[in-house]
Amino acid sequence: MTAQEIRERYPHPQSGSTPAPLTYPRLEDNYCVGGALCKYLASAEGWQGANFPMVCTLCDVLQEANEHLAYAGALRRAKGITLANDCGQFDRAWRLLDLALKAKR
């Protein structure tokens, strides 16, 4: 699994920032970059992933996706992905996800 494969399946992430609920409904089609990872893994496992996971949830999902990630590294990466996404810097969030999936620790 790569960030590119996830991005191809979920190409249109949205910000999960505070004003977001006022600008669009939280429908199944709405997700952030971290949510795209959750949805991608969930579809393979047969469960429903979070569209806008909290940092602690994304940390757990990153560790599930990459067995080499220790908790501290996964948490740092989850925070970075979430912050970039919530600032509308989606390309950066995708790059950070790619690094998290490839990380060796």
State the sign of the Cα–Cα–Cα–Cα dihedral 16, 70, 94, 28: negative
The span from the first CA to the last CA of the chain, in angstroms, equals 17
> How many domains does the chain divide into?
1
Is residue 19 assigned to a domain? no
pLDDT value for 18: 55
Please return the burial class of 101, using the count of CB atoms within 10 Å of its CB with bins 0-12, 13-18 and 19+: buried
Which tens digit of pLDDT belongs to each residue from 3-34? 999 999 999 999 876 554 444 455 567 899 99
Range of the domain at 41: 3-10+26-102
pLDDT value for 28: 61
pLDDT value for 42: 87
Is residue 18 assigned to a domain? no
Q: Are 24 and 14 in contact (CB under 8 A)?
A: yes
Q: Are 16 and 53 in contact (CB under 8 A)?
A: no
Is residue 37 assigned to a domain? yes
Is residue 68 assigned to a domain? yes
Is residue 71 assigned to a domain? yes
Which tens digit of pLDDT belongs to each residue from 35-73? 999 999 988 776 667 889 999 999 999 999 999 999 999
Is residue 17 assigned to a domain? no
Is residue 15 assigned to a domain? no
Is residue 21 assigned to a domain? no
